[in-house]
Every structure is written in structure tokens, then in C-alpha cells.
């Protein structure tokens, strides 16, 4: 975290450039009070993260985790009810957040002939049907993917009541920020089989750990994919991130207006 104390102790600080998207760990008010610009690199991995989210969705639908685990242990398995997957065509995807990443996710889902719903008070997509009521949308979805930013209004946006609104056959995907979901409520919903499964790339407390973590039980669940906050991590995305971060740093050091995207 770049706290107010860190900012106060940096006498020659000219600007703060986030090597990535989320600025929730930066004391914005403290920087503003000193006239220090804070800028992020918001669009280096929009499509990359959407691809990652869609890959996780497909992994849930096709039961990649338990099938791969069984293949590693047994060498081969035969088609029985335990391994049966789902088609995506005709299923309904609900997007919580339809900004840059959510819109790209909508496009990918549409290409698979999925129905796409979107809940977002601030944005929309021509590829998603707009829903004003979050719980009403969740009740219709076979898959729910979270793509909103973390702030005071979205912390625990998906809580116990929202998960109870979901179908028992529905899956939840989160590649945004862990605290947008009430993780204790999610764990209870999974243990109680109130939803079919989940795929998570982000957690309220990172790193995730196989023991001593509130979500350690997820490792043993065949219907849960745990990913180590790496949906952004591709060669092409990192090159874009590096290039844009250096551009912002040079702008600050040369006294130029800082590009905001």
C-alpha cells in the first residue's frame, strides 16, 4: 500500500504511477493534498483479462479441474455422469460490470451464442441486455462473471442474499477484486451446494494458501478453480504495461501533462 505516511515521507515525490489498473491501495486524498498526480495504466490488459475470465468459465463448464486431476491420478477415465460437462450455447451469462473488460467478455460470450445480461449503473454494452436489478439478473444466469471496480459501493456487492438469488446450477467467476464478493458467504454457498461452483483469480487476502487462509478449503473442491491472480499475465499485455508505465513516468519527470485514459 502507498499510504499517507509513505507519501508524506517522500520529499521529492513528483507523481505516482500504478504499474497496473487498481489504485485502491494508494492514498489518493493524501497525494491530491500535495498536488501529486496519481495515474494508472487501465487498458493494457482489458482483452487479456476477459480472455482469462472466459477461459475460467469454460473450465467450469467442461469440468477441466476434476477431469485433469483424475487423468493425472488414473491415466484414463470413461464417460460417466460424474464427468459430464455443459454446452455454452443457449446459456445465460450475467456480467456484474460492463466496462472495458466486461464488454469484451460480452463479445466472447456472444460468439458462443450465449445470452448476455449486464448490471452496471455506469456503463453498458450493445452486446448485453441491461438489467437494473442485480438480484433479478442473477436469478436468470447460468454463469455470473464479476468485472466491476472495488470501491465503497461495490465491497461485498455479491453477498449472501445475492448468492441465494442465483440458481443452484449457476457458476460464479471473479477476476476483478476479491472483496467485491463476500468470501465467507461464497464459501458457505459452495459448502451448502447453493451454487454449482466458482472460479476465482482474486482474493480479499493474497496470496491464497493451502492452509491457514479463510479460503483454504477451496483447493479440495472439484467444482472450484483457484487461479493465482494471473489472468492479466501474458507476454503481450506485460509489454503494453511496461511501455505505458514508462511513458507516464517520463511525462511526470519532464513536467508534461500526464496522459489519463
| Catalytically active residues, by annotation | 177, 206, 229
CA separation for the pair 33, 4 (Å, rounded):
10
Say which DSSP state 180 is in.
G
215 to 117, 185, 224, 240, 241: CA distances (angstroms): 29, 11, 11, 33, 30
Say which DSSP state 212 is in.
S
Sheet of 115-119: strands edge to edge?
129-130, 115-119, 92-96, 143-146, 171-174, 197-200, 224-226
Q: At what angle do helices 46-61 and 100-111 cross, to 10 degrees?
A: 50
First to last CA, the chain: 22
171-174/92-96 β-pairing: unpaired
Q: Residue 183's CB: how many other CB atoms inside 10 A?
A: 20
Beta bridge partners of 129: 117
Mention every residue, 6+ apart, whose C-beta is less than 8 A from residue 23. Answer: 38, 40
Amino acid at each position: 500500500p502507498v499510504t499517507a505516511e509513505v507519501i508524506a515521507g517522500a520529499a521529492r515525490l513528483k507523481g505516482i504511477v500504478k504499474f497496473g489498473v487498481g489504485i485502491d491501495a494508494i492514498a489518493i486524498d493524501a497525494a491530491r493534498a500535495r498536488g501529486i498526480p496519481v495515474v494508472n495504466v487501465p487498458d493494457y490488459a482489458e482483452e487479456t483479462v476477459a480472455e482469462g475470465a472466459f477461459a475460467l468459465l469454460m473450465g467450469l463448464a467442461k469440468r477441466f479441474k476434476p477431469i485433469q486431476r483424475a487423468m493425472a491420478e488414473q491415466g484414463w477415465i470413461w464417460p460417466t455422469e460424474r464427468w459430464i460437462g455443459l454446452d455454452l450455447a443457449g446459456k445465460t451469462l450475467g456480467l456484474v460490470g460492463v466496462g472495458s473488460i466486461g464488454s469484451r467478455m460480452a463479445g466472447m460470450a456472444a460468439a458462443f451464442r450465449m445470452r448476455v445480461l449486464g448490471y452496471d449503473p455506469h456503463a453498458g454494452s450493445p452486446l448485453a441486455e441491461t438489467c437494473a436489478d442485480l438480484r433479478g439478473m442473477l436469478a436468470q444466469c447460468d454463469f455470473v462473471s464479476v468485472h466491476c471496480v472495488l470501491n465503497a459501493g461495490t465491497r461485498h456487492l455479491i453477498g449472501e442474499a445475492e448468492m441465494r438469488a442465483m440458481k443452484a446450477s449457476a457458476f460464479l467467476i471473479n477476476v476483478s477484486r476479491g472483496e467485491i464478493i463476500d468470501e465467507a458467504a461464497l464459501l458457505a454457498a459452495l459448502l451448502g451446494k447453493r451454487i454449482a461452483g466458482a472460479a476465482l483469480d482474486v482474493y480479499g487476502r493474497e496470496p491464497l494458501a493451502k492452509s491457514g487462509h479463510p479460503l483454504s478449503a477451496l483447493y479440495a473442491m472439484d467444482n472450484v478453480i483457484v487461479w493465482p491472480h494471473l489472468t492479466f499475465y501474458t507476454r503481450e499485455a506485460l509489454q503494453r504495461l511496461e511501455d505505458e508505465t514508462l511513458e507516464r513516468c517520463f511525462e511526470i519527470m519532464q513536467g508534461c501533462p500526464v496522459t489519463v485514459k
